[in-house]
Amino acid sequence: MDGFLNLNKPQNFTSHDCVAKLRKILNTKKIGHGGTLDPLATGVLPIAIGKATRLLQFLPTDKAYQAKIRFGIVTTTDDLEGDIISKNSAFDLTLEKITPYLKDFIGEIEQFPPAYSAIKKDGKKLYELARKGEIIDVPKRQVTVSNIEVLNWQDGEFPELDLHIFCGGGTYIRSIARDLGEKIGLGGTLALLNRTLSCGMSLENSYSFDHIIEAKKANRFTLINLDNPLQNLPCIYLEEEESKRWNQGQKILLEEETLNQFYRSYNHLSEFIGISELTIDEKGQLIKPKVVFNNGQ
């Protein structure tokens, strides 16, 4: 059983919980995931099974989220999972007052990750330090947000804004909610989060646990092919003799110059055989095997 699975993660499950549940459903131990989702969050959780776990590092990093931001509330975790630090009535807040600030969150931006996050500092996860009440100097990080779309606005004492956020890996949507609230002077926190895109997998093609269980019972459960999510990588086709040499760990000379570091690699029968890495020596540009799927490997 080798391939990928596009899981629609339910609320109140950690990513680790999902992996543990799938190990029981699929009766296999070698399972990993392609990016943590907080327990509050739902949506796309890419799952790698068997040999696919060796490909997680090569998957595309672009992500997209539908986020609900609640204004007037500040919490310890920057979402509704944490303790409330402050509450401020935001009856007078309007979408027109917020919209000009959204452009500040598009492009290459710097953000402080939430104090309650899985980022490690001195070998310990930040949330472990935060739970002990330790004062944490959270390091800033640079992230990329390519676009933000307004989906809905709901008036009230604690009004809510629904956004569709398109971003690169490592972006914390909780931080955007917190920082947007700070900019308007009333505070804000993340109320709901649904990931719609991750590792090249989209929400409309995802499957729930129930669907997976039913498909397994009906003997119609299938996985996404190993190479399918790797469309972000260019591909290269090897001749029969080149395929043999490549499988033996030898380098293959590239005729055309390239700047790409990794390639989806196929043999003379157009079968996916793994990932090649670009290397350069006195002979010129060559590729060498990085991940090999053959001879039972």
Length of the chain: 297
Among candidate residues 17, 38, 79, 281, the one labeled active-site is: 38
Q: Which residues of 5-35 are buried (b: 16+ CB within 10 A; e: fewer)?
A: bbbbbbeebebeebbebbeeebeeeebebbb
Q: How large is the C-alpha radius of gyration of the chain?
A: 22
Of 18, 14, 35, 47, nearest in space to 195 by CA? 35
Of 117, 108, 153, whose CA–CA distance to 136 is shortest? 117
For the question of residue 2 being annotated catalytic, the response is no
154: tokens are: 């709901």
Tokens read off for 74: 């500040």
Helix (H, G, I), strand (E, B) or coil at 207: strand
Supply 292's token pair.
């090999």
Q: Tell me which H or E stretch contains 281.
A: strand 272-281
Decide: 164 and 101 in contact? Cβ < 8 Å. no
Q: Are 189 and 73 in contact (CB under 8 A)?
A: yes
User: What whole-number distance in Å separates Cα of residue 178 and Cα of residue 84?
Assistant: 13
The SS3 call for residue 82 is coil
Please list the active-site residues.
38
